[in-house]
Chains A and B, each alone.
Chain A
Amino acid sequence: MIRYIIRRALYAIPILFGVNLLTFVLFFVVNSPNDMARFHLGFKRVTPQAIVQWKHDHGYDKPMLFNDRAKGVQKITQTVFFQRSMKLFVFDFGRSDEGRDIGYDIRQRMWPSLAIALPTFVIGILVNITTALFLVFFRSTYLDWLGRLALVAMMSVSSLFYIIGGQYLFGKTLRLVPISGYAPGLHAFKFVVLPVVIGVISGIGASGRLYRAFFLEEIEKDYVRTARAKGLSEMSVLFRHVLKNAMIPILTSVVVVVPSLFLGSLIMESFFGIPGLGAYTLDAINAQDFATVRAMVFLGSLFYIVGLALTDITYMLVDPRIRLK
């Protein structure tokens, strides 16, 4: 087990290196440090000296990938890529192009993100399982047919409509909750309710259908027939046998996103004015703040890889037939 985890961790390093290199190249192919300096200093009346100074201050005055003039290992280390990207591996995010400490910002902003993402995740799973079980209980009736149609319809609506519609209905017309904003501590509750409700509702369509398929796959198996044959009621068959076994695919399909919950959602946070990491990323994209975007891409990839490893480990924990090599 330990050996497996270590092997997965080592395997992640070349992938994260690739991610770093890719984001680096993508940004600098067309966006040279000179352009960046001009963008951040404002386009009008920029002296060459100011550009040189800006590049020096932000560490963009070294060669990109390979330093000809340095000696030995420094040929690699004295470059923009090494100085700015490779430090991410030890979680040294450095300063953003605006001069803020990215590591501090991330530590501050991850809590509001989590306050939205975690409840949405947990309540979402409960609601989706309930919906799917309900449809499976009434399978091959008109209720099932109607429910399936409703799920396909809900799946076909863009998440933007759920957000805009929810804000309009609950925030503007009914005035139950504030439309957007955030407050720390317990006051956060009234700001968090609406994003969570909308997040849960917009997820029912796709996940409810998926879970329903998982349940139906289980329900055709022999042990279910045996359980019915020994006289169990449909309710206890569903809850004691089918639910337990269908939890394996459900668990393994959701675990992958758990680490990424910290990063929040770009759309949700910017619509509801939540000062989380999603909104942070979006602001960085719009301000063309490369240092911040690069840090967020790194974190996103890292969390995704951790999520994949967690998925495999969960597999092994819930299903003893699976052995990890």
Chain B
Amino acid sequence: MSVPMVLPFKLVMLDTDFLLYALFAVLIVLITRVRRNASLRQTWRRVFERPGAMAAVVILAVYAAIALLDSVHFRTALYAPDGAVTGYSPQILSVLDILCAPLRLHTEHTYSAPFAEHALVRETVMRPGGRVQRIFPRLIWGGRGLAGPFARTRDILQRSGRGLVEALLVWLMLLCGVWLVREGGRDPRLAWRRLWRGDSKLPWRTFWLTTGLVLLIGTVVANLAVEYHVLGTDQVGIDVLYKSLKSIRTGVVIGTVATLVALPFAIVLGIAAGYFGGFVDDAIQYLYTTLSSIPGVLLIAAAVLSLDLYLGQHAREFQSVLERADLRLLFLCLILGITSWTTLCRLLRGETLKLREAEFVQAAVALGESRARILRRHILPNVMHIVLITLVLDFSGLVLSEAVLTYVGVGVDPSTYSWGNMINGARLELAREPVVWWNLGAAFIFMFMLVLAANLFADAVRDAFDPRFHRSS
């Protein structure tokens, strides 16, 4: 009798997961193409020559990695007593959930401050003998392994020290590994000195400093998070660090997928309007003028309200809360894409108008090339820099708008982890006594780092790719 091979998990692919994978695949294809093309490589070099952009790319890569880890979803198997798989858990988890298992599982009853051992609010407890006392109860998980009341500072220092050593080890190993591969035959002391002085075409010193810093924060926090709630807990006792990490995926999805879904429309319609002119141009211009004259928030609000009604009427068609929330996230991306689509379309139309009269396009027409080939080979590659600039410039704005829309009540689902939801919940917490600041603070730091990195990167990309803005800003 053969037992069928059963995996201990079952993969679940959400719609936004699929789009994120697609985006990642496109990114890899683009990178390989850029590496083969000499002039593109030169332009990208100009982007990376800026230390700010180099540091930003490292930060963005960390965020992207976390978002990808959080996009591999699955259900774990449920076992019968004899070891056979009977079914799959209704709970959908991601790889990030597994990696952050202590954070996810260490939930308290309610608020606790960062690194606290005791809850923030008093609770009434019954002492043996019927005595009633109001005390700050001990947390279930925070500082659980501590020996005595004064052991905390020492323990924190010890764990931080361990994190520091680990970060240093990994960092040095990486550094030596890369150095061996890249400059194997050369004088090691010279190479080291050049790196130290920042004496290289690309700012490698900045790269290694940023990587080191990220590693350091990562290892120290990882060491501390096993024992403490590094950023405290929220009203229902969920670790705020876990919430912040889970919010990264929402932010990244909104920042990228929104532009991505709108991209095909903007490219096709923009180029068509510019190239064909006449009636096509009039119709497309009418379309985007109408769309862009509606105030963005109101259009989004109207669309999301309609979706809410639809979801309310079809609630039974969704297997889990996560899938429903994901549909809402996807829809939000779609509608955000529709509102941001018009700017890109207008820019592309203008550029195509100019290109249509350019000599190389006229030459292609004279040589009898087909229209489709002209559009694909001559027009499209020459407007791609505008697409790229818009894509990176829009990213930070979209991440920021998520918070505002969620506050207005037309953002992501309340059950989705997002910085907007964290801020929304934290508004009243500042009025509490003692003040609960860590929810807001955590959302602020995580959002700020992502948006700042995106802005720095976008600046560098724009300056490198847009001839008009050359060296001016």
Contact = CB atoms under 8 A, between A and B. Distances in A.
B121 to A, nearest CB: 20
A30 B455 CA distance: 38
B98 to A, nearest CB: 30
Interface residues of B, number: 46
Contacts of A288: 305
A217 B456 CA distance: 21
Given A14-B286, A18-B286, A288-B305, A160 B404 contact: yes
B407 A172 contact: no
Given A26-B299, A31-B306, A285-B410, 19 more contacts: A14-B286, A15-B289, A23-B294, A27-B305, A156-B396, A156-B448, A156-B455, A158-B451, A168-B430, A216-B472, A216-B473, A285-B301, A285-B305, A288-B305, A293-B298, A296-B298, A301-B295, A304-B292, A304-B295
A251 interface: no
A254 interface: no
Contacts of A172: 430-431
A297 B302 CA distance: 10
A300 B407 CA distance: 21
Contact of A31 (B289, B309, B410, B451): B309
Interface string A1-45: 000000000000011001100110011011100010000000000
Contact of B400 (A19, A158, A285): A158
Interface of B: 286, 289-295, 297-299, 301-303, 305-307, 309-310, 313, 396, 400, 403-404, 407-410, 419, 423, 426-427, 430-431, 440, 444, 447-448, 451-452, 455-456, 459, 469, 472-473
11 contacts: A19-B290, A26-B302, A29-B306, A156-B448, A157-B444, A158-B419, A158-B423, A285-B408, A293-B302, A304-B293, A305-B293
A19 B306 contact: no
A23 to B, nearest CB: 6
B306 A213 contact: no
A267 B407 contact: yes
Given A31-B306, A213-B472, A153 B452 contact: yes
A282 interface: yes
Given A152-B455, A267-B404, A22 B410 contact: no
B207 to A, nearest CB: 19
Contacts of A18: 286, 290
B404 A300 contact: no
B408 A164 contact: no
Given A26-B303, A160-B404, A160-B423, A15 B455 contact: no
B440 A158 contact: no
B293 A266 contact: no
Contact of A300 (B295, B423, B448): B295
B447 A158 contact: yes
A158 B306 contact: no
Interface residues of A, number: 47
A293 B301 contact: yes
Interface of A: 14-15, 18-19, 22-23, 26-27, 29-31, 35, 152-153, 155-161, 164, 167-168, 172, 209, 212-213, 216-217, 220, 260, 263, 266-267, 281-282, 285-286, 288, 293, 296-297, 300-301, 304-305
For B310, B400, B423, B459, the residue with the greatest tally of chain A CB atoms inside 10 Å of its CB is B400
Given A156-B448, A266-B297, A304-B293, A27 B455 contact: no
Nearest to A285: B301
A18 B408 CA distance: 26
Nearest to A267: B404
B401 to A, nearest CB: 9
Nearest to A18: B290
Contacts of A27: 302, 305-306
B455 A155 contact: yes
A281 B298 contact: yes
Contact of B306 (A30, A155, A156): A30
Given A15-B289, A160-B404, A301-B295, A209 B473 contact: yes
Contacts of B448: 153, 156-157
B456 to A, nearest CB: 7
B61 to A, nearest CB: 18
B290 to A, nearest CB: 4
A311 B404 CA distance: 28
A305 B291 CA distance: 12
B409 A285 contact: yes
Contacts of A281: 298
A217 B407 contact: no
A213 B452 CA distance: 19
B409 A286 contact: yes
A30 B305 CA distance: 10
Contact of B294 (A167, A267, A301): A301
A155 B397 CA distance: 10
A263 B307 CA distance: 26
